[in-house]
Amino acid sequence: MAGRFAPSPSGPLHFGSLIAAVGSYLIAKSRHTQWQVRIEDIDPPREVEGASDLILRQLEAFGLYWDGQVTYQSQHLDRYSEIIEQLKSQGLVYACNCTRKKIKSISKTGYYPNICATKQLSFNGEVAIRLRHGQGDYSFVDQIQGSCQFDNSLYAEDFAVRRKDGLVAYQLAVVVDDIEQGIDHVVRGCDLLDSTPRQLRLYEVLKAKVPDWYHLPLAINPDGNKLSKQNHAPAIDSQQASRYLCCALEFLGQPIPSELQHEDSDVILDYALSHFQLPQIPARQQILYLD
């Protein structure tokens, strides 16, 4: 069994992504499982040339060494297509030709109101493929955030497993990969909390065991926006690895003694792992970060 860190190659790691990397590493190692790295490179329009290699070099600079081979989602496209064909044969998906503008004009909740569910449109052409919603309870207990429940509109939404542009949707790709890589726990930021009910639906239809969930608090700037590549968060400086690593550990409630803060990353991580306390990770969805 294993945990994983799964960045998209849309730019170098920033402090927010370092938090996810460090948190997932500590939780995997504390569970005595592997820590794998998967590059989620299935959205070419958003990808930056050379970012995949840069991310791996950054992880090494911070002492975050992965187990096994790095995997790339772009190598799994045939498998995603097989799963979609399987869902088609089971009558669990349908074609949708709605535009974002149309959905926005009709939906009061922001969720897709299942407009095309009974239209029986062809799967050929520029259409999204949507998974029919289930009848189950897709609330869950998170190992950090506690009980997580959402608006019923989310549970009743038929969400995309393939986009209109033909690219596989994040929800499908991540679940298929996690199942096939034996990921038994998922550690990521709270920005993906509301993705979990959709992914629980996929685990249900694929008849796979559900992993444990750990959603880490997000680092936000004074404007209230999360640190992200879209919000132009600066890349972490690998030349200051010890400093940023200590900041990430402090953010996660795992402070490093002052006498160790100038040691190499390996020394800092060894201390953090030997003193790791999951309950000390703040059960908050957002925390202000000032560099």
Token pair, residue 22, equals: 């460090």
β-pair type (34-39, 71-72): parallel
Report which of 273, 287, 274, 209 is spatially closest to residue 23, judged by C-alpha positions: 273
Q: Nearest-5° angle of CA 51, CA 57, CA 59?
A: 105
How many whole angstroms separate alpha carbon 1 and alpha carbon 27?
Answer: 13
State the Cα–Cα distance between residues 54 and 126, nearest whole angstrom.
Answer: 34
188 is in an annotated binding site: yes
Q: Is 148 annotated as a binding residue?
A: no
248 is in an annotated binding site: no
170 marked as part of a ligand binding site: yes
47-55 contacts at long range (C-beta below 8 A, 24 or more positions apart): 47/8, 47/9, 47/10, 48/9, 48/10, 48/11, 51/9, 51/10, 51/11, 51/12, 52/9, 54/12, 55/7, 55/9, 55/12, 55/13
* CB within 8 Å of 14: residues ≥ 6 apart: 227, 228, 229, 233, 234, 235, 236
Is 96 annotated as ligand-binding?
A: yes
Is the Cβ–Cβ distance between 120 and 94 less than 8 Å?
yes
- The answer to the question of whether 203 is labelled as a binding residue is no
The CA distance from 25 to 272, in Å, is 11
> 112 labelled as ligand-binding?
yes
Annotated binding site: 4-8, 40, 96, 98, 112, 116, 170, 188, 229
The annotation places the binding site for L-glutamate at 4-8, 40, 170, 188
Residue ranges of the binding site for ATP: 229
Residues tagged in the binding site annotation for Zn(2+):
96, 98, 112, 116
